[in-house]
Structure 1
Amino acid sequence: MWKVYKGFSELSRPDIDFVQGTVISIDPTSQLMRYQDLEGRSQHLKYDYILISSGLRRPWPIVPRSRHFCSYLSDASTFIEKIIEAEKLGVVVVGGGAIGVEFAGKIKTHYTGTPVTLVHSRHQLLSNEPLPEEFKTRTLELLRAQGINVILNQRAVVQELPDGTFYVKFQDGNRLHTGMVIMAMASPTPSSQFLPSYILSNGSINTDSDLQIISRDEVIPRMFAAGDIVNVAGIKLGGNAMLMGSVAAANIYSLLVAQRNPSWRSAMERYVLMEPKMALSVGNSAVCYTSDDGVKYGKEWVEPMFGSDLGWSSKSPFPAFGQFAKMDVTQKSCPHSA
C-alpha cells in the first residue's frame, strides 16, 4: 500500500517538515546527519534528538522498490500483467511465511482460473512464527480449500527457460513447469548502513527499555530507535513498530521538556514487547490469533480484520492504520501513466 505524507491529517502542521532523501551517515558526537536529496546533492541536518526507524530492506515484490508513486504504479501494473500472462501454466509462490500465504491466496482469489502453487521448505507453514499449531493448520486448510496446491517439506530451485517460463525443481526429483515464480522467502536486511559500526549488532540496533540506543551497555546520548531495525524477539508487526514509535516519541518529548525546565523530572515510558498475535489474510478468508481470544478463522473474519483493503481502514482490535484518514491517490496523480 502507498500513503503520501499529506494524507495523514495529524501531521499537517506548520512545525513539521518532510525531507525525502537517502541518509548517508550519522555522527552521534556532532549530532549531525548527512543525506543525499532527490537531486543527488549532499545535504546535512543538525539534530537535538534523532529517532532511527529505517526498518528492514526486502526485495520487490514483497515491498515496493519505488520512491515515487507513479513508478510504483508502473511496477504494479507490470506485475499484474505477468500474473495474467501466466494463466495457463500458473503461478508458483516460494516461501510459506505470512507473505507467501497472502500472495498465494490473493492471486487465487482474483484470478480464479489460474493454477497457484505455494512451496515451503519446512513441514508446516509459518514455521518461524511463535504462533499456535492450530493457527498454522487452519491456514493450510483454508489455502487448500480454495484450490491452492501447497507443497511442504521441499526446497525449490528455479530455472528460467528461454521462452520466459520456468521450471521449479524439487529435492525429491520432481519439477513443475510454471508461467511465473514469486520469491517470498528472502531474508530481510537491516537498513542501517548509515550508522557507525560500533552501534550495530549484526546490522540491527540494541536499545534499553526506554528505546534509547545502547552500545556495549552504554546509552548513546540523544539517539532512539523503533521498529524492525531494533533487535527484539517476536513477530515483525506494524503494530509493534507503532507502539515503539509512540514510546520513543514520548520519551524524547519528556527529555525536551526537562531540558527547558530544570525543575521538571522527566518520566520515561517503558516499552514492553507485545504478545504474539496475527491476523492473516488467506485468499477469501482469514485466520486470527490473540492470546486472549485464541484462534479464529473463516470468511466472517475478513471484514472486521481487513475490510476491503487489507486493513488500511480497518477498525479491528489488531494493529492497523485505520486511525488515519484515507486519501484518494489514483493513476490521475500520474499524467504519464498508462
Structure 2
Amino acid sequence: MAFDTLRLILVALKFVVPFAFPALIDQIQVIIHKRTYKAVDSPKNVVVVGGSFAGVQVAQKLANSVPTGYKVILIERNSHFNYTFNFPRYTVLQGHGRLAFIPYDHITKSVPAGSLEHVRGSVAEIKQGTVILQSGEQISYDFLVLATGCSQSPPAKLSSTERSSACEELQGYQQSIERSDRIAVVGGGAVGVELVADVKSYYPDKHVTLIHSRSQLLPRFGPRLHRHVLGSLEKLGVEVLLSERPEIRTFKSEDGEKGSRGAKSLVLKDGRVANFDVVIPCTGQTPHSSILSTLIPEAISASTGRILVHRTLQVAANGKNPVNIFALGDVAETRGPKMARAAFFQASVVQKNIVSMIGGMKPSAVYKPQPTIEGSLKLTIGKTEVVTYCQPENGAEILLTSSKGRDDLEVERAWKFYGADIRDAGSLS
C-alpha cells in the first residue's frame, strides 16, 4: 500500500509539473478576458451540442477565450446536468436521487457576461452553418462542436430528460430492488460492479448475482484490478458468473409484487436456468453520432459508430474535411480512454484550435491520449470501500484502497465544480 501510494504521487508529479506553468498562463488569460470581452448584438456563434462532462467543459473554456464578436451557445436536451457517476448508488440508495441532477443555471458564473448562452433543446438536423432543433428553431454557427456522448441502458444513463421524471425513474429501480429477493446485474464494467456491490451492502440479505460475458471484470483495465474487485465482491457475498452471455426470458412472478420491472429467467451456457425477481442490464454503449448522418455520413465510423476525427479533433471525412466542425468525448474516435477526464484534455485542444482559427491561424493543438492519467479510475465497492486505480504505460498497476466512502459519494464537490449550491437541491423543480 505504501509503495503504491508513493508511486501514485510520483505519477501525479510527473503529470502535474509540466502542466503547472501553462495552467497558470491560462488562468491569467481568463482574468484578462473577463475584463476585455464585450457582448455585442448579432455575434458569430460557436455552437456546442451536448451538455455533459465534455460539452460543459469545452463550452466554458471557449466562453473564457473567444474574442468580442463571438458567443458560445450550449445546446442540451436535459433540464439538469446528469451526474452519472452517482447513478449506480442512487439506483439503490433512497432519498438521494435529486442530488445527481445539477442545474445548468450556474455554468455561466465563471465566464464573461454574454459569452455563453444555454439553450435547452434536441437537435433534429445539422446543415452546413445551421443547427436545426426539433422545435423548428434554427441556430447558425461559424464553428460547431459535437459532444453528444453515448447512450447506455438505464440506470447507467436515464431516458427521462426532466429532473422530476428522472428522479421517478431512479425511484422505480429503488422500489423494485427493495421488494425483490433475487437480483441479477448483467455486465461487469464499472456500473455493474458498483451496482451489485451497493445492492449487497444496503440489502445484505438479498441474493445478488453479477454476470459478465468475459473472463475478467472491468476488461478495459488490468488483471490486478479484476482480482481485487472479484475478492471484494465475494467478501460482500455477491455471486459472480464470468464468461457467461445468458439468454434472458421474462416470466410472470408467482408473487405479483416482486420484480415490478418484470421477473426474468436467465438461461446459462450450460443450460441451467436461474430465476430472478429483477434483472438489470449494464452492457453496451451506442454513440450519438447520427447527428452527422445527413451532412457528413462518411465521418461516422462503420466499425464503432463514432465520429472520425483528426488529431486536432476536427471531423475527418475522406478528404472532404469540414474544418469548422469538431468532436470530442465518447462520441469521437480518438483512440484514447473513454473517460470524463480524457474529455477535459480534449476540450483544451478544441478550444485552442477554434480560437486560433478565429484569429486567422491554422489549428495546431493536437490531442495525444495519456492513458495513465486519463484512464485512471475511482471505483466504489459497497458503502465504504473506494478503490483508486491507474496503470502507467511502462509500469505495474497502481491500486489504493480506502474505507472512507460516504453514502452520497461526496456529491457536493460536483455541485461546487459546476457553480451550484447543493443546499438548493431540495427546492429545484
TM bin, normalised by shorter chain, reads 0.7 to 0.9
Shift of 1:19: 0.9
Shift of 1:175: 2.3
Shift of 1:107: 1.7
Task: Return closer, same or farther for 1:123/1:199 CA change in 2, 3 Å cut-off.
Answer: closer
1:200-259 C-alpha deviation (Å, 9 max, x unpaired): 223321111211111114531211111011112243101111221222022212222x14
Match of 2:110 in 1: 10
Match of 1:136 in 2: 226
| Worse-superposed segment, 116-125 or 162-171 | 162-171
1:294 has 2:397 as partner: yes
Query: For 2:252 and 2:165, how far apart are their aligned partners in 1?
Result: 28
Q: Percent identity?
A: 24
Given that 1:138 and 1:297 are in contact with CA atoms closer than 8 Å, whether structure 2 keeps it comes out as no
What's the secondary structure of 2:321's corresponding residue?
strand
More helix by share: 2
2:282 to 169, 176, 184: 184
Unaligned runs of 5+ in 1: 260-264, 315-319
Match of 1:273 in 2: 369
1:145-198 C-alpha deviation (Å, 9 max, x unpaired): 11111111222222222234222221112222221110011x211112221213
2:130 to 17, 22, 32: 32
Task: Return closer, same or farther for 1:171/1:20 CA change in 2, 3 Å cut-off.
Answer: same
Task: Return closer, same or farther for 1:61/1:189 CA change in 2, 3 Å cut-off.
Answer: same
Match of 1:78 in 2: 172
Given that 1:143 and 1:282 are in contact with CA atoms closer than 8 Å, whether structure 2 keeps it comes out as yes
Unaligned runs of 5+ in 2: 1-82, 84-100, 254-261
Shift of 1:97: 1.4
| 1:93-112 correspondence runs (5 A) | 93-112=185-204
Given that 2:197 and 2:381 are in contact with CA atoms closer than 8 Å, whether structure 1 keeps it comes out as yes
1:43-80 C-alpha deviation (Å, 9 max, x unpaired): 11111111011011112222021111111111111111
1:332 has 2:424 as partner: no
TM-score (norm 1): 0.83
Query: For 1:165 and 1:206, how far apart are their aligned partners in 2?
Result: 41
1:72-95 C-alpha deviation (Å, 9 max, x unpaired): 111111111101111xx2210011
Match of 2:161 in 1: 67
Given that 1:154 and 1:172 are in contact with CA atoms closer than 8 Å, whether structure 2 keeps it comes out as no
Query: For 1:298 and 1:170, how far apart are their aligned partners in 2?
Result: 33
Query: For 2:270 and 2:187, how far apart are their aligned partners in 1?
Result: 17
| 1:1-338 correspondence runs (5 A) | 1=83, 2-8=101-107, 9-10=109-110, 13-28=113-128, 31-36=129-134, 41-86=135-180, 89-127=181-219, 129=220, 131-163=221-253, 164-185=262-283, 187-195=284-292, 196=295, 197-202=297-302, 203-256=305-358, 258-259=359-360, 265=361, 268-275=364-371, 276-283=375-382, 284-292=384-392, 294-300=397-403, 303=405, 309-310=408-409, 312-313=411-412, 323-328=417-422, 330-334=425-429
What's the secondary structure of 1:254's corresponding residue?
helix
Shift of 1:12: 7.9
Query: For 1:224 and 1:308, how far apart are their aligned partners in 2?
Result: 38
Query: For 1:12 and 1:166, how far apart are their aligned partners in 2?
Result: 53
Count residues in correspondence: 308
Query: For 1:165 and 1:289, how far apart are their aligned partners in 2?
Result: 36
Given that 2:354 and 2:363 are in contact with CA atoms closer than 8 Å, whether structure 1 keeps it comes out as no
1:121-152 C-alpha deviation (Å, 9 max, x unpaired): 2222123x1x2211111111111111111111
Give the letter aligned to residue 330 of structure 1. Answer: A
Task: Return closer, same or farther for 1:298/1:145 CA change in 2, 3 Å cut-off.
Answer: farther
Match of 1:262 in 2: none
Shift of 1:297: 3.7
What's the secondary structure of 1:296's corresponding residue?
strand
Query: For 1:150 and 1:239, how far apart are their aligned partners in 2?
Result: 29
Given that 2:216 and 2:242 are in contact with CA atoms closer than 8 Å, whether structure 1 keeps it comes out as yes
Query: For 2:119 and 2:230, how far apart are their aligned partners in 1?
Result: 43
Shift of 1:20: 1.1
Query: For 2:391 and 2:412, how far apart are their aligned partners in 1?
Result: 24
Task: Return closer, same or farther for 1:312/1:331 CA change in 2, 3 Å cut-off.
Answer: closer
